Structure 1
Amino acid sequence: MAEDNRRVSVHKIQKDFYMIKAEDTSIKYFEGLWEIPEGVTYNSYVLIGDEGSAVFDTVSRGFTKEFIEVLKSLIDVKDVKFVVVHHMEPDHSGALPELIKELNQAAEVLGHPLTGRLIESLYGLKPRFRPVKDGEVVKLGQHKLTFIHTPWLHWPETMLTYVEDLKYLVTCDVFGAYSIPKHVEIDVNQLPTEYEYFMRKYFANVIGYYRENILKNLNKLKQLNLRVEAIAPSHGSILKGENVLEKALTLYESWAKAEALDSKVTVVYTSMYGYVERVVEYIVKALSENGVNANVFKFTSYERSNVSDLLGEVLTSKLVIVASATYDADLFPLTTYILELIVKKTNAEKPLILLTVYGWGDIASNKAKELISKSKYKIVRNYGINGLVKDKDYVELNKLIKEIIELVRG
């Protein structure tokens, strides 16, 4: 059951544990960068104990008024004993200044030791802050909260909270997803394909850069042997189901390692006047006729794909094909931008094919190879075409198509 208050609603998850969800349907670019037409939610959680309440994170600043109203409809704010800050990024802490004002120093703010400094630097506030150690336990009446530091997942002060009696793990960004899901809770064993897509996209965009730290923290969570029945992230739905933590850890581990799905090919190209586009269309058509379907992301004068979606697809691709125009005797600017993000966010030992089209010199190819050389990606084929596709080019492209088919089926 949900009580709606404009864009913010409260949901009873189980006795003593509630979600306050803000739905952002207006946002276009998450973090001012990632295209998310699917929107996003900001989830705060409230735990009610017999000796007071705890609020876990807040919501983005634009939802502050509604958040405070909904919180007051759920509990008496005078009963708030703790405000737990898992991560100080403003999409989670945006309503924190108003909440601190409402509490009037009556509650303690708990967080990683770095969190207190961030509250002051980001909001100019000095609340009753208490740093909590990794593994520290705090009691809230009948509830026992254990704090788990997970640095660089994805900020240095990130931490999680394990509510032992409920067997709930409150994770902030970790295991979150883009979109505004229809369901507050989702069974991880029956994860909808679309929702997993939005989880992976979010991972690639926001968390993926910190791959080594992700793997370290995943291993740490495994070793804790927590008995978890639900994962409560700050974006998307609550994950439930048998072995929910193990399933979530497996997904994150596969993405952190950029493990490929069988035969998955992702093609990204930039084209000004159609020369590159015609080359790509020829290759993609031939692959399709041979049972190999490619995910195509295009950046042309008439259409521009979402880079945010591209990164999520590259992460699980077996092969990446990059085709680029030449511009100002250099690599096309959008290709540079895209390659830099691919290298930074999805860096993995995957084969990559590089195609360029040029007029008076194939400088674009050299620039692209220089960028890719800084990564784990391996260029298995590099071919440049001088203007129109000629007979000799078709011979090479047909060879390339055969190589691609063998590679993805191998």
Structure 2
Amino acid sequence: MNDKLIAKNSYWVGYVDDRKVPFHRLTLEKGTTYNSYFLDTEKPTIIDTVDISFGRNFVEELKDYIELEKIQYIVINHVEPDHSGGLPALINKAKQATIVTTELGAEELKEMYKLHHKKFMIIKDGDTLDIGGKTLKFFETPFLHTEETMITYSVEDKVLYPCDIFSTHIATDKLFNDLAPEDITEDFKVYYSLIMHPHRPYVQDMIEKIRKLDIDIIAPSHGYVLRDKPKKYIDLYDEMSKPNKDKNALILFSTMTGNTKRISKHIAEELELQGIKTEMMNIKENVDIDDVKEKIKSSDAIFFGSSTRYADMVGGIEKVLKILKYMNLEEKLGIAFGSYGWSGEAVEVIKDYLQDTNIKLVDSSYVIKTTGMDNIKFPIRVKFNPDKENIEEVKASTRVIKDMLVS
């Protein structure tokens, strides 16, 4: 037990998975660990569990530390099954325990594991919990790397439990980074680039919160516990997630009654608000194609919009779309948008044109695969004149594009 001591009366109780682990459409050649932590206080507390495949094993091993029915709290920072998977087996034994998580986390856990009848404590950003001898402080960290995620800080121990954040995928029984047989920095960076980098604006939000904390140890949910130079790893995240503000967006649109132009303005305002230099162009029939080509070449994200008239596009937007397949758009984002009154075919026709190029077409599938967000819809389609609800949806979609640009 002393080998697994994280801080006073706080123990690692996870599982080492030394297989070549299939994970997020990758194979983890070095395996991984599923780190769970037991805080042996007056109100015994578990922070995160293990992968669902090892839930039964996890519960059996935990009996060496405590009689399971005495557990008072189970903190779930992140609901993915590699961290919450041991919860059903554990809560079946720890029948009096309260599950501590975010509001969305509670909703998802109830549905995933049929826990509707269990006790939940819903936390908000900055909430604290006295577990008898230790104080836990919670911070919501949405989209790191899913929307419900939070992190936990043990005030007296100065230990941060950030779940997936600051992790490495290495199967090890050495536990601490200062005991690692080799430098883990590269593995740390690889993990960041694969899991966290698509969400880098939210990384910056998280860093702003934890900068105020006195952190001696970072105890993540994969790989090594970082007790040697934890600030080094916070600084690495900060450096790797810093935005490059020299990004440009171009909004090309054709409009019939002005509704698509209004959408364009809302997109432009949101991008400018987020520090992305943006230009709008109303593409009419007599458009100067050479001028448009030059603007496309100097842009990182291009929005192509049109109203729908008789199931087709309007103005000169199709003239622009026809030249795209002859251009190299490999490093650019392409987004279709527009307004409509009935079925809105113009937006889909734009999407068809973009699919015939090497541009990175931002549709709902691309967003889910790159960010995990399933609540943002692309292309951007608005029926008639955008109302307040439509405008909020347009702005939410635009923020996703902005997040993709600040690499």
Length-normalised TM-score, structure 2: 0.59
In structure 2, the residue matched to 1:75 is: 66
CA distance in 1: counterparts of 2:112 and 2:220, whole angstroms: 23
In structure 2, the residue matched to 1:118 is: 108
In structure 1, the residue matched to 2:46 is: 55
CA distance in 1: counterparts of 2:182 and 2:57, whole angstroms: 32
CA distance in 1: counterparts of 2:50 and 2:236, whole angstroms: 26
CA distance in 2: counterparts of 1:66 and 1:18, whole angstroms: 17
Determine whether 1:109 maps to 2:99.
yes
Deviation (angstroms), 1:194: 4.4
In structure 2, the residue matched to 1:379 is: none
Question: What is the letter of the counterpart of residue 58 of structure 2?
Answer: F
CA distance in 2: counterparts of 1:68 and 1:77, whole angstroms: 8
In structure 2, the residue matched to 1:24 is: 17
Question: What is the letter of the counterpart of residue 229 of structure 1?
Answer: D
The answer to whether the 8 Å contact 2:145/2:199 transfers is yes
Q: Give the SS at the match of 2:56.
A: helix
Deviation (angstroms), 1:249: 1.6
Deviations 1:72-92 (A, max 9, x none): 111111221100000001100
In structure 2, the residue matched to 1:241 is: 228
Deviation (angstroms), 1:370: 2.6
Cα 1:197–1:367 shift into 2, 3 Å: farther
CA distance in 2: counterparts of 1:156 and 1:92, whole angstroms: 15
Question: What is the letter of the counterpart of residue 174 of structure 1?
Answer: I
Equivalent of 1:211 in 179, 200, 211: 200
Question: What is the letter of the counterpart of residue 202 of structure 1?
Answer: Y
Cα 1:366–1:84 shift into 2, 3 Å: same
Question: What is the letter of the counterpart of residue 195 of structure 1?
Answer: I
Determine whether 1:186 maps to 2:146.
no
CA distance in 1: counterparts of 2:189 and 2:164, whole angstroms: 12
Deviations 1:338-375 (A, max 9, x none): xxxxx9xxxxxxxxxxxxxxxxxxxxx96893332229
In structure 2, the residue matched to 1:86 is: 77
What runs of 5+ residues in structure 1 fail to find an aligned partner? 3-9, 260-342, 344-364, 376-410
In structure 2, the residue matched to 1:173 is: 164
Cα 1:192–1:27 shift into 2, 3 Å: closer
In structure 2, the residue matched to 1:201 is: 190
Cα 1:200–1:367 shift into 2, 3 Å: farther
Deviations 1:216-267 (A, max 9, x none): 2212222xx211110100001111135x2x32221102222389xxxxxxxx
What runs of 5+ residues in structure 2 fail to find an aligned partner? 245-299, 301-323, 335-407
The answer to whether the 8 Å contact 2:170/2:224 transfers is no
- The size of the alignment, in residue pairs, is 256
CA distance in 2: counterparts of 1:131 and 1:46, whole angstroms: 20
Equivalent of 2:217 in 226, 230, 241: 230
The answer to whether the 8 Å contact 1:34/1:205 transfers is no
More strand by share: 1
Deviation (angstroms), 1:35: 2.4
The answer to whether the 8 Å contact 2:55/2:89 transfers is yes
Question: What is the letter of the counterpart of residue 121 of structure 2?
Answer: R
Deviation (angstroms), 1:182: 5.0
Q: Give the SS at the match of 1:83.
A: strand
The answer to whether the 8 Å contact 1:52/1:140 transfers is yes
RMSD: 2.6
Question: What is the letter of the counterpart of residue 248 of structure 1?
Answer: Y
Length-normalised TM-score, structure 1: 0.58
Cα 1:247–1:230 shift into 2, 3 Å: same
CA distance in 2: counterparts of 1:90 and 1:138, whole angstroms: 25
Deviation (angstroms), 1:108: 0.6
In structure 1, the residue matched to 2:329 is: 370
Cα 1:182–1:75 shift into 2, 3 Å: closer
The answer to whether the 8 Å contact 1:52/1:80 transfers is yes
In structure 1, the residue matched to 2:122 is: 131
CA distance in 2: counterparts of 1:117 and 1:136, whole angstroms: 19
Cα 1:367–1:253 shift into 2, 3 Å: farther
The answer to whether the 8 Å contact 2:174/2:180 transfers is no
Cα 1:29–1:371 shift into 2, 3 Å: farther
CA distance in 1: counterparts of 2:327 and 2:26, whole angstroms: 23
